[in-house]
């Protein structure tokens, strides 16, 4: 079956994930619930996004209708084995962007697909090369784009991505919040109707 024809539930409020699925032509509806994004302190950072995606998928399992597949995802920004989450306030966003400035970090997006009989998880990984950011540039970005709902305090499709990211390895869509190429590939072999 064509992966684009498979009925999906996107268990995410992220407008970026909806936009990516829509642009790629997937058949989906959005239905999600608030889930505490807690994970064990000793979990390796690379394992956290898949763990959180599974947590979200299992919390939303009751939304499934016949023949539907639930898709959940979680993205983390990792630098030097430290996860940079969504900033709490302006000072936290400044701290995060100062840390990322002039360095290469990883964005890992974990994905969980499940239906009433099967579940699979996978992750996309991208490396992001940040140019150095001045204090004025950091303040401009935060004040203009309000990146408080974004892991790592930035979005690649905004000013930072256009003006201060010099190179990426991996997919742009993964950095935006969903490795669409992997979703397509996994759906093509996911069991079911």
Strand partners, 167: 129
DSSP secondary structure code for residue 101 in this structure: T
- The active-site residue, picked from 74, 92, 139, 143, is 74
Using CA of residue 24, residue 27, residue 32, residue 38, what is the dihedral sign?
negative
Backbone angles phi, psi at 100, to 5 degrees: -80, -25
The whole-angstrom distance between residue 4's C-alpha and the CA centroid of its chain comes to 20
Using CA of residue 151, residue 44, residue 184, residue 128, what is the dihedral sign?
positive
- Coil, strand or helix at 122: strand
The answer to whether 74 is a known catalytic residue is yes
Just list the catalytic residues: 74
């Amino acid at each position: 079956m064509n992966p684009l024809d498979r009925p999906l539930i996107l268990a995410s409020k992220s407008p970026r994930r909806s936009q990516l699925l829509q642009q790629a032509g997937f058949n989906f509806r959005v239905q999600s619930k608030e889930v505490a994004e807690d994970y064990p302190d000793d979990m390796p950072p690379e394992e956290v996004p898949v763990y959180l995606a599974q947590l979200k998928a299992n919390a939303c399992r009751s939304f499934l209708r016949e023949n539907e597949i639930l898709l959940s995802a979680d993205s983390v920004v990792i630098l030097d084995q430290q996860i940079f989450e969504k900033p709490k306030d302006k000072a936290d966003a400044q701290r995060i962007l100062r840390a990322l400035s002039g360095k290469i970090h990883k964005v890992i997006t974990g994905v969980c697909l499940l239906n009433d009989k099967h579940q699979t998880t996978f992750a996309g990984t991208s490396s992001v090369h940040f140019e150095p950011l001045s204090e004025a540039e950091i303040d401009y970005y935060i004040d203009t784009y309000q990146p408080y709902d974004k892991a790592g305090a930035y979005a690649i499709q905004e000013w930072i991505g256009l003006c201060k990211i010099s190179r990426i390895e991996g997919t742009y869509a993964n950095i935006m919040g969903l490795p669409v190429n992997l979703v397509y590939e996994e759906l093509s072999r996911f069991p079911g109707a």
